[in-house]
């Protein structure tokens, strides 16, 4: 029975893809190991969204050459977005790589494993491995058709397409029957989901109708696709998390237009206000130092953050990705970018601390992800002295907030 060591880089979409590939390998009789030394196969699932992410994946591939050389028959599979971008060039530079399979080709993963004879000599019976975790990630779309000027995703993952809701709901049913409490629906622009007229909101409502479901999350929505139907669905379905991770990227209408984001600062503020009115906490992604970002544009981002009071934000320095329109623009000085990033991080630290502090004294439903750490529906981390089983759901009163953790 071959053992697989999994190394995933990047976002939750990649984690869901890794889970899919691991299930394919499990169906062929492989098991997963947490120890690299015990492994026969290393599966590396990569990200290329920023240069730094790609470097991390490639340097891991370089380091793992020693592992491969140490024992006859060991194999390496390199998959995901960086694999898509770099293709077979990877094998030239790192000849110890056995299979390169890009993100666009994930549906053919099983046949590629067959074709490459990767599991030669495997004698065990296939085992049916059911994922037992309390949080289950499910892909509902693949690719992205937005073509934001800075983003490489549409090039490495292809045009967006939505998966059949019948299939998605069957996966939800199976996950809940296997003990999952929370479902996370995933897609690059998850709220653009539309399968032959079956909308994202309709899908949310259908998933919520499962009795066994405790909580529903989705990642990542795009502000452009937030509409009345969706806001009404949030109001009607309390199982949908009282949190949204909504990447805004910038608070300047000029920069948003250049990025091809399809919304203005004012539209964004109106949507953020509508979400807050329903009681939804908002976290976000922001790019700092996009080419053409002036001091006034950056200031627009900063004032928007002050107004929106995000509970968290991932702030990224602009990274030019070859082949994207923004990579052709003149970059602004790194010194200025660093300075702006510092200012923004400081602002976010404050709003995040304030958001945690607002939870003080409230009673929250906590889903435990470790024996002493769990998450609330509005996505705050809670720590307890008492230990709970993983997957336990407990109503707890928040006694204290410390920067980015609540104590109960």
**Chain residues in the site for ligand SF4 (CB under 6 A):** 144, 146-148, 151, 153-154, 188-189, 222
Query: What is the C-alpha to C-alpha distance for residues 1 and 40, in angstroms, rounded to an integer?
Result: 9
Nearer to ligand SF4, 155 or 298 (CB): 155
Q: Please report how close the Cβ of residue 151 comes to ligand SF4 at its closest, in angstroms.
A: 3
Q: Please report how close the Cβ of residue 30 comes to ligand SF4 at its closest, in angstroms.
A: 31
Q: Which is it for strands 312-317 and 243-245: parallel, antiparallel or unpaired?
A: unpaired
Which does residue 50 touch among ligand 5AD, ligand SF4, none (CB within 5 to 8 A, set by kind)? Answer: ligand 5AD
Residues 305-324 within binding reach of ligand 5AD (CB under 6 A): 316, 318-319, 321
Query: What is the C-alpha to C-alpha distance for residues 216 and 182, in angstroms, rounded to an integer?
Result: 6
Nearer to ligand 5AD, 109 or 155 (CB): 155
Q: Which is it for strands 3-8 and 31-32: parallel, antiparallel or unpaired?
A: parallel
CA torsion sign for 195, 150, 6, 90 is: positive
Count of all residues that appear for the chain in the document: 408
- What's the count of helices (H) and strands (E) in the chain, helices before strands? 14, 21
| Binding of residue 225 to ligand 5AD (CB under 6 A) | no
Distances (CA, A) of 287 to 159, 227, 344: 23, 24, 10
Which does residue 285 touch among ligand 5AD, ligand SF4, none (CB within 5 to 8 A, set by kind)? Answer: ligand 5AD
| Binding of residue 49 to ligand 5AD (CB under 6 A) | yes
Q: Please report how close the Cβ of residue 147 comes to ligand SF4 at its closest, in angstroms.
A: 6
Nearer to ligand 5AD, 331 or 369 (CB): 331
Query: What is the C-alpha to C-alpha distance for residues 19 and 142, in angstroms, rounded to an integer?
Result: 15
Q: Please report how close the Cβ of residue 210 comes to ligand 5AD at its closest, in angstroms.
A: 29
Return the SS3 of 170: helix
Nearer to ligand 5AD, 201 or 319 (CB): 319
Distances (CA, A) of 63 to 34, 71, 118, 396, 398: 18, 15, 21, 45, 44
Q: Please report how close the Cβ of residue 187 comes to ligand SF4 at its closest, in angstroms.
A: 9
- φ, ψ of residue 285 to 5 degrees: the values are -120, 140
Residue 196 token pair: 């032959």
* Among 2, 50, 142, 340, contact with ligand 5AD (rule: CB under 6 A): 50
Which does residue 147 touch among ligand 5AD, ligand SF4, none (CB within 5 to 8 A, set by kind)? Answer: ligand SF4
Q: Please report how close the Cβ of residue 8 comes to ligand SF4 at its closest, in angstroms.
A: 18
Residues binding ligand 5AD (CB under 6 A): 49-50, 150-151, 247, 249, 285, 287, 316, 318-319, 321
């Amino acid at each position: 029975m071959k053992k697989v060591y999994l190394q995933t880089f990047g976002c939750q979409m990649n984690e869901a893809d890794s889970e899919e590939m691991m299930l394919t390998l499990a169906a062929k009789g492989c098991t997963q190991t947490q120890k690299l030394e015990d492994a026969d196969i290393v599966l590396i699932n990569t990200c290329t969204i920023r240069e730094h992410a790609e470097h991390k994946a490639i340097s891991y591939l370089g380091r793992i050459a020693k592992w491969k050389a140490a024992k006859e028959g060991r194999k390496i599979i390199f998959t995901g977005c960086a694999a898509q971008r770099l293709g077979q060039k990877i094998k030239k530079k790192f000849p110890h790589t056995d299979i390169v399979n890009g993100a666009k080709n994930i549906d053919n993963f099983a046949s590629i494993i067959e074709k490459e004879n990767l599991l030669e000599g495997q004698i065990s019976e296939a085992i049916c491995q059911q994922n037992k975790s309390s949080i289950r990630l499910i892909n509902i779309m693949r690719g992205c058709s937005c073509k934001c000027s800075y983003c490489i995703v549409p090039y490495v993952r292809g045009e967006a397409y939505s998966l059949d809701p019948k299939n998605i709901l069957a996966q939800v049913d199976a996950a809940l029957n296997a003990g999952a409490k929370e479902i996370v629906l995933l897609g690059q622009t998850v709220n653009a989901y539309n399968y032959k007229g079956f909308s994202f909101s309709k899908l949310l409502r259908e998933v919520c109708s499962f009795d066994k479901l405790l909580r529903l999350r989705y990642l990542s929505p795009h502000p452009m696709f937030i509409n009345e139907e969706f806001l009404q669905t949030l109001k009607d379905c309390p199982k949908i998390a009282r949190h949204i991770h909504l990447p805004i990227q910038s608070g300047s209408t000029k920069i948003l237009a250049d990025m091809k984001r399809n919304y203005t600062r004012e539209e964004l503020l109106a949507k953020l206000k509508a979400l807050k009115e329903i009681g939804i906490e908002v976290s976000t992604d922001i790019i700092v130092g996009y080419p053409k970002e002036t001091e006034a544009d950056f200031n627009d981002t900063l004032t928007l953050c002050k107004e929106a009071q995000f509970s968290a934000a991932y702030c990224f320095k602009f990274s030019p990705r070859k082949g994207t329109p923004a990579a052709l623009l003149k970059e602004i000085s790194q010194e200025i970018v660093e300075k702006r990033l510092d200012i923004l991080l400081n602002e976010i630290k404050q709003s995040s601390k304030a958001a945690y502090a607002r939870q003080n004294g409230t009673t929250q439903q906590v889903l435990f992800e470790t024996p002493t750490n769990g998450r609330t529906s509005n996505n705050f981390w809670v720590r307890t002295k008492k230990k709970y089983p993983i997957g336990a759901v407990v109503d707890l009163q928040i006694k204290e907030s410390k920067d980015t953790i609540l104590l109960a």
